[in-house]
Amino acid sequence: MKEFNTTGVCIPEKHYMADVSKKINVIEKMVEAGKYFTINKPRQFGKTTIFYLLKRELTKTGYLVLKISFEMMSSKIFESEDLFVKNFLREIKNIIHFSEINNRKQVVELIEDNMKITENITDLNYFITDFIRLVDSEVVLMIDEVDKSSNNQLFLDFLGILRNKFLLREQGEDYSFKSVILAGVHDVKNLKLKLRSDEEYKYNSPWNIASEFKVDFELEIEQIASMLKEYKEDRDIDLDLEYFADKIYYYTSGHPFLVSKLAEIIAEEILADNESKWKKEYLDQAVKIILAKDLPNFDTLIKNIENNSDLENMCVDLIVDGRKITYNSDNPTIEKGELYGIFKNDSGSLKIHNRIYEQRIYNYLISKIENSMESDAFDFRDSFIDNGQLNLKAVLERFQVFIKEQYSDRDRDFLERNGRLIFLAFLKPIINGKGFDFKEVQISQEKRLDVVVTYLEQKFIVELKIWRGEEYHRQGLKQLAEYLESQNMEQGYLLSFNFNQNKEYRDEELEVGNKKIFAYWV
């Protein structure tokens, strides 16, 4: 029986998969047109699966596909032309053994002869010409994990050979591969990101013949639904395809790994053995579970942020301060963040790629604040729980005292930058294990941050904002009331951070429209 797969290549006969045939068809047309191009996507973004499916389809239509992964090669191979060339030929020979070309024996003999005499990149150039002439099929070269060697001059020389052969082929003066596809995290044009400063002279655009690759790997709602439909019919499960496809997309923005992981969590961790129906609340449970998991995907996400202070600062701007940043691919920080799958272009605005990542980064930023603060929230935890229910008013009142005692002498810049994270770090030990907070940034003049807090079956809307005067405050109350209406909530909470010297620690109970709002100032 099939299962959801989140570890490695997805096989249609073994795994529930989204229908990505439209994406494969577009790439096939690029191959048919003889294009050379690069597929650069973040880790666990479906590259390996797309490569596998593409090879299957190209092989069916008569192409000889040489699919090689540099991940399988030792780094020492890239230290010498002789070692690189011989291993490259050995990889091709292995592929030919499993191919169905008519003159396989002759091709293998050609490879073996060249393995004895080929010593450098120039020799490889002549071998490729002879190889293409001898093989009775059009040949496509696919190289995965090109990042492994992309900071090596030998690799750039190899790209130079492919580039030169492409240009001569176009002029009818040489034989070369029908199409060459390179895959990795970094685009070859971004090799300068991988080179040390004292080696940047190596960067010489050897891949400027590459065609632009425009295929999005994110799954569309219909494609997510196709995966769920297959699962539903195979397992005889009752689930609302439209609802779950739409909500999974809402949280993941179609990130292939996250889509499959949420479905896998519901199917294998939440759904009981005797159940045959996906309840709508299961998806929120799955989101909470995935955010608590120690996954390599999340490790890479946080590592890239930790290792790049410019990325962390931009994440704070987007997530905590709600800044509206225009997408500009020429901005090196934005380019880097998009390369690592952290950012995306959302109709000209820069956004965190998906809500799962946004929350995970958000939790990371909170944890950094939490490590630096001396909170007594856990000590008072029982006083915030009445008959198993969270008393959020009591939490906000205690937070006022906490800020006055612990942060009254801190500089304004620190509090303005970190105040909202301090509140969430204060809240975390109170709801930990039984509750969850998920944020929504509302872009406005006040840079509001709406936080949805759940505790068991309870749900609260808390708006966090910086105090900017009475007029903005009234606008904020109105916007919060409208947001409460959209969420079918009767009451909400407003926490204002006032950094004026003469500020008051006060609270009010307000009626805005037909909504009740509890307002607190710190």
What is the full per-residue pLDDT of the chain (522 aa) written as tens digits? 899 999 888 999 999 999 999 999 999 999 999 999 989 888 889 888 999 999 999 999 999 999 998 877 777 788 888 888 999 999 999 999 888 888 889 999 999 999 888 888 899 999 999 999 999 899 999 998 887 665 567 888 888 899 999 999 999 999 999 999 998 866 666 554 444 444 444 445 567 888 888 899 999 999 999 999 999 999 999 999 999 999 999 999 999 999 999 999 999 999 998 899 999 999 989 998 999 999 999 999 999 999 999 999 999 888 887 788 999 989 999 999 999 999 999 999 999 999 999 989 988 998 888 777 766 655 666 778 888 889 999 999 999 988 888 877 666 777 777 888 888 888 888 887 666 666 665 544 445 567 888 888 888 999 888 888 888 888 889 888 988 888 888 999 999 888 777 778 889 999 998 999 999 998
What's the pLDDT score for residue 483?
A: 86
Q: Which residues of 388-400 are buried (b: 16+ CB within 10 A; e: fewer)?
A: eebebeebbebbb
* pLDDT score recorded for residue 187: 61
Confidence at residue 353, expressed as pLDDT on a 0 to 100 scale: 96
Helix/strand/coil for 178: coil
pLDDT score recorded for residue 153? 77
What does the alpha-carbon distance between residue 193 and residue 57 come to, in Å, rounded to a whole number?
Answer: 34
Domain 221-290, CATH: 1.10.8
> For residue 201, what pLDDT is reported?
42
At CA 279, angle to CA 362 and CA 391, rounded to 5?
50
Tell me the pTM.
Answer: 0.85
Fill in the DSSP letter of residue 270.
I
**For residues 180 and 188, what is the distance between their CA atoms, to the nearest angstrom?**
13
CA 166 vs. chain centroid, Å, equals: 33
The C-alpha angle with vertex 63 and arms to 61 and 64, in degrees rounded to 5, equals 145
The confidence score (pLDDT) of residue 41 equals 87
pLDDT at position 378 is: 53
CB of 504 within 8 A of CB of 521?
yes
Closest CA to 81 of 125, 112, 113, 38: 125
Domains 21-202 and 221-290 share a fold: no
pLDDT at 348: 94
Structural element, H or E, at residue 115: helix 104-117
Nearest CA-CA partner of 162 in 186, 185, 180, 149: 180
Residues 6+ apart with CB under 8 A from 149: 70, 73, 75, 78, 155
pLDDT of residue 194: 46
- Torsion 500-505-511-512 (CA) sign: positive
507-512 vs 515-521, strand pairing mode? antiparallel
Over pLDDT 70: what percentage of the chain? 89
Q: Please provide residue 285's backbone torsions phi and psi, each rounded to the nearest 5 degrees.
A: -65, -40
User: What CATH architecture is 21-202?
Assistant: 3-Layer(aba) Sandwich (3.40)
Predicted confidence at residue 376, as pLDDT, reads 60
The residue type found at 473 is H
Domain boundaries, the chain: 21-202, 221-290, 294-372, 374-522
